[in-house]
């Protein structure tokens, strides 16, 4: 499959036919649609503009593809996922109807920018139309040249397309989507500028992020000038108007772009922490959500440090992982009593946690522990992170801190066992 050649979408779906299990494995029993959507897309890097893995197809296919080609596939896969979560399934037999919905969304919201190159656009097949649209959406034209971004010059706001397509699915009018697209694009760039300025210094990594997002956005001249004022430090977070309807996932997106910008120079100082705390309040999200945003990015960085351009190596990735233990203590500490009560009811999980303090768990034992944590998520929502891709990476941290956080649960269990009559 070559996403730079005509016919690639048909080829993609011929490959996808073998991945029906992947398409139908999503269960929303504990997670909202937003959380499922986030959970499966966040590990791919599409949220941050760094495509590191595919959603449905085998990642080995990425070996011979450019970043732009991978991004084209990810955009298509994101559209398929949105359709899947909305309808509960994605049937290959009904494929063309779904593709027509994709095309209609872009045409009705004036986002496709494809007709300039296709005088006979209306005469094309739905596959040809969508290939043209995706090509136009991913590609950006810019004179910006930065050594860290030489292979990453494509639309870094594509993730927002998927959020808007979800709203389109839910009946939001195209005119409202057009207005919201412009507003959110500008707000993302303002937040990047504020995050970059939080420590009083503008690093070249932060400049690279700002310039690529500026090139990705469809801003008019007045909006660009407004964005520049934030970049130059003339405006503050207080001057941002965020008084409009924002979903959980949009808030998460804004927060994580800010965190990634702050971390781009591999150093987080007190003033940057204060900025992120202020942004948390401005967005109206909980401390749990802020901490989980940090942890989600930490997991992404640890999984992909070799592929992310501003990380130089494993040492830098480990530096960014610092603080994960403390954040998990904060998250679980807020639910400490409930966690202790639930652990007492799960002797198998207690045994696995106790064993992990003295020796490494086997692969099977780690999977069993993760499954047990997923069961606990029914009463402790903070643990739903374990239901999402990348959750297993965090398992050693959780296993390490729980005995210190809720020691009474373990002591009570030991007394109970010691006091039992022999069988």
Q: Between residues 368 and 331, which one has the greater pLDDT?
A: 368
Residue 377 in tokens: 């998520």
pLDDT of residue 418: 46
Whether 36 contacts 28, CB under 8 Å? yes
The domain 173-322 is placed in CATH, from the list 1.25.40, 1.10.4100, 1.10.3680, 3.30.450, at: 1.10.3680
Q: Between residues 216 and 232, which one has the greater pLDDT?
A: 232
pLDDT of residue 423: 43
197: pLDDT strictly greater than 90: yes
- Average pLDDT of the chain? 78
Q: Between residues 310 and 130, which one has the greater pLDDT?
A: 130
Give the number of residues written for the chain: 423
Closest CA to 269 of 198, 208, 194: 198
Q: Between residues 21 and 170, which one has the greater pLDDT?
A: 170
User: Residues of the chain with pLDDT > 90: what percent?
Assistant: 17
pLDDT of residue 321: 58
Average pLDDT over every residue of 248-277: 85
Average pLDDT over every residue of 44-66: 82
Whether 46 contacts 81, CB under 8 Å? no
Encode the chain in three state secondary structure.
CCCCCCCHHHHHHHHHHHHHHHHCCCCCCCCCHHHHHHHHHHHHCCCCCCCCCCCCCCHHHHHHCCHHHHHHHHHHHHHHHHHHHHHCCCCHHHHHHHHHHHHHHHHHCCCCCCHHHCCCHHHCCHHHHHHHHHHHHHECCCCCCCCCCCCCCECCCHHHHHHHHHHHHCCCCHHHHHHHHHHHHHHHHHHHHHHHHCCCCCCHHHHHHHHHHHHHCCCCHHHHHHHHHHHCCCCCHHHCCCCCCCCHHHHHHHHHHHHHHHHCCCCCCHHHHHHHHHHHHHHCCCHHHHHHHHHHHHHHHHHHCCCCCCCCCHHHHHHHHCCHHHHHHHHHHCCHHHHHHHHHCCHHHHHHHHHHCCCCCCHHHHHHHHHHHHHHCCCCHHHHHHHCCCHHHHHHHHHHHHHHHCHHHHHHHHHHHHCCCCC
Average pLDDT over every residue of 385-413: 67
Average pLDDT over every residue of 137-148: 60
413: pLDDT strictly greater than 70: no
| Neighbouring C-beta atoms of residue 309, cutoff 10 Å | 17
pLDDT in tens, 99-108: 889 999 998 9
Closest CA to 35 of 27, 25, 44, 46: 27
Q: Between residues 409 and 282, which one has the greater pLDDT?
A: 282
Average pLDDT over every residue of 348-369: 83
383: pLDDT strictly greater than 90: no
201: pLDDT strictly greater than 80: yes
Which of 40-49, 79-88, 210-219, 409-418 has the least mean pLDDT?
Answer: 409-418
Closest CA to 184 of 217, 207, 211, 141: 217
Q: Between residues 394 and 227, which one has the greater pLDDT?
A: 227
pLDDT in tens, 306-344: 666 555 555 555 665 566 677 777 777 777 888 888 887
Domain with CATH 1.10.3680 in the chain: 173-322
5: pLDDT strictly greater than 80: yes
Can you say how many angstroms the Cα of residue 245 is from the centroid of all Cα atoms in its chain?
20
User: How sure is the predictor about 400, in pLDDT bands with cuts at 50, 70 and 90?
Assistant: confident
Q: Does residue 218 come out as left (phi exceeding 0), alpha (psi in the -120 to 50 range) or beta? A: beta
User: How sure is the predictor about 285, in pLDDT bands with cuts at 50, 70 and 90?
Assistant: confident
User: How sure is the predictor about 236, in pLDDT bands with cuts at 50, 70 and 90?
Assistant: very high
Average pLDDT over every residue of 29-42: 76
118: pLDDT strictly greater than 60: no
Query: What does the angle CA 52 – CA 153 – CA 122 come to, to the nearest 5 degrees?
Result: 95
23: pLDDT strictly greater than 60: no
Q: Between residues 7 and 318, which one has the greater pLDDT?
A: 7
């Amino acid at each position: 499959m070559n996403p730079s050649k005509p016919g690639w979408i048909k080829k993609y779906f011929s490959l996808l036919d073998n991945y029906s299990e992947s398409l139908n494995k999503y269960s929303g029993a504990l997670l909202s649609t937003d959380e499922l959507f986030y959970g499966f897309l966040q590990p791919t890097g599409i949220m941050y503009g760094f495509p590191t893995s595919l959603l449905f197809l085998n990642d080995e296919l990425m070996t011979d593809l450019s970043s732009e080609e991978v991004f084209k596939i990810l955009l298509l896969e994101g559209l398929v996922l949105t359709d899947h979560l909305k309808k509960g399934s994605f049937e290959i037999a009904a494929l063309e109807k779904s593709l027509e919905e994709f095309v209609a969304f872009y045409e009705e919201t004036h986002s496709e920018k494809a007709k300039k190159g296709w005088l006979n656009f209306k005469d094309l097949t739905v596959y040809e139309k969508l290939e043209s649209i995706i090509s136009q959406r991913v590609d950006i034209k810019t004179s910006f040249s930065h050594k860290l971004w030489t292979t990453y010059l494509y639309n870094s706001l594509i993730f927002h397309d998927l959020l808007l397509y979800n709203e389109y699915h839910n009946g939001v009018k195209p005119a409202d989507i057009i207005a919201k697209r412009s507003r959110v694009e500008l707000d993302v760039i303002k937040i990047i500028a504020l995050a970059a300025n939080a420590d009083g210094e503008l690093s070249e990594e932060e400049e690279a992020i700002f310039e690529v997002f500026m090139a990705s956005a469809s801003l008019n001249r007045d909006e660009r000038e407004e964005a520049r004022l934030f970049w130059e430090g003339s405006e503050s977070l207080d001057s941002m108007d965020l008084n409009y309807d924002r979903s959980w996932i949009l808030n998460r997106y804004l927060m994580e772009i800010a965190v990634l910008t702050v971390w781009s120079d591999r150093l987080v100082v007190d003033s940057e922490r204060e900025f992120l705390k202020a942004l948390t309040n401005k967005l109206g999200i909980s401390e749990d959500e802020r901490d989980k945003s940090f942890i989600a990015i930490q997991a992404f960085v640890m999984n992909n440090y070799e592929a992310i351009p501003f990380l130089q190596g494993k040492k830098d990735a480990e530096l960014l992982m610092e603080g994960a233990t403390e954040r998990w203590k904060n998250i679980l500490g807020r639910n400490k009593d409930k966690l202790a009560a639930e652990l007492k009811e799960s002797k198998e999980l207690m045994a696995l946690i106790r064993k992990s303090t003295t020796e490494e768990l086997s692969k099977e034992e780690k999977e069993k522990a993760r499954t047990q944590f997923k069961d606990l998520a029914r009463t402790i929502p903070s643990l739903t992170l374990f239901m999402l891709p990348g959750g297993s990476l965090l398992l050693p941290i959780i296993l390490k801190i729980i005995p210190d956080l809720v020691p009474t649960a373990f002591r009570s269990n030991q007394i109970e066992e010691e006091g039992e009559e022999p069988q």
